[in-house]
Amino acid sequence: MSPDSELFIGLMSGTSMDAIDAVLVDFAIEPLRIQSTYTQPLPESLREALLRLAAERSTDPLRCLGELDHLLGSAFANTAQKLLDAARVEACDVKAIGSHGQTLYHSPGGDAPFTLQIGDPNRIAQRTGITTVADFRRRDMAAGGQGAPLVPAFHSALFRHKDRNRAVVNIGGMANVTLLPADPKQPVTGFDTGPGNVLMDSWIRQHRDERYDKGGAWGSSGRIRPQLLARLLRSDPYFQAPPPKSTGREHFNLDWIIGQVGTESPQDVQATLCELTAFSITDAVRGHLPDVVEIGVCGGGAYNRSLLKRIEANLPNCTVVSTANWGLEPQWVEGAAFAWLARQTLRGLPGNLPEVTGASEPVLLGAIYPGRSPAS
């Protein structure tokens, strides 16, 4: 490995809870270079246990929480090691791992806001020997913020353009937007718009026992039902709530759909859920950066052709592309973001944007778990 390299690993497991993505990033090259990637699917038994715990349906929740924290920490560590093996890189050449962890519950409102991510970073640091930065969200919450979304700071560093107003749309289980004005005097803003893939994934699993709607094919076989769409949008104040705002699976889930669906066919519901995601995204972009000219889409939703067509239809004067057109494949943006956030922490630099999260000030994010050789 070149002595001039500056290698970090980002680990990400999203709302879908189906896999761990690992990204090896070299920051010595501007703006960055993805050296290697690796995806490790989660065993179905582990995923089901996570979903039960997140839905508060576990029979012994405290024991389940402790065991899953252990198992996920080990799974994150194994994924990082397999990434290193595939890249033929030694652990001692990596400065740090940034691990987002698996979100089980996110509750930024109320009298005692909290967020819970598991995947024991002690185990990651111990098993890989690499200094690990984790627990990124809670420091922002301690400063009065929502704790999410945290990726807009990375989007700003990587994708902001001096001549064109851009937006980054990250469509994972939830969807979030980052608004990047060309004018450097204008702040970068962003927030969770609502459901991304989570409702579509839950609905197709319920009716076809499939994890996701590949390419949006099943949804595109149905018809959008305007009355159902209006009912879904009207039923939840989240869509009209002003930012800062963030959400999660505890808010948008299968029960949320079932309570509002009438006699529509399952595929028509799927088509309408796709439009719900597209509309809530584009309505947010129009409302907060109306003169946007380019949108870069990342996350799993970037591979849903039907969803992208609906976003394009709702923003006819805007170019909608994959972030691959901007230099970073959609699947790896979030993993790279947490590698970048770990680097920010080790450099003593803040990782949050108060304009995005609502925090009172920029703060260093995360806790540092030393590897066998302290981070430098």
Tokens encoding 33: 């270079």
pLDDT of residue 333: 98
Q: Which SS3 state, helix, strand or coil, does residue 23 take?
A: strand
Average pLDDT over residues 235-252: 96
Lowest mean pLDDT among 2-11, 40-49, 139-148, 204-213: 2-11
Which has the closest alpha carbon to 275: 345, 200, 203?
A: 200
pLDDT of residue 247: 97
Tokens encoding 59: 């029979």
Name the residue ranges covered by the structural domains of the chain.
7-146+331-369, 152-327
Beta 94-99 vs 132-134: how paired, if at all? parallel
pLDDT surpasses 70 at 373: no
Please tell me the pTM assigned to this model.
Answer: 0.95
Tokens encoding 365: 């994010």
- DSSP state, residue 190: E
Just give the CATH number of 152-327.
3.30.420.40
Evaluate whether 7-146+331-369 and 152-327 have a shared fold. Answer: yes
Q: Rounded to an integer, what distance in angstroms lies between the CA atom of residue 199 and that of residue 177?
A: 18
pLDDT 10s digits, 271-298: 999 999 999 999 999 999 999 999 999 9
Average pLDDT over residues 232-246: 97
pLDDT 10s digits, 49-90: 999 999 899 999 999 999 999 999 999 999 999 999 999 999
pLDDT of residue 15: 84
Q: What's the whole-number average pLDDT of the chain?
A: 96
pLDDT 10s digits, 1-30: 666 899 999 999 988 898 999 999 999 988
Residue range 7-146+331-369 in CATH 3.30.110.40: no
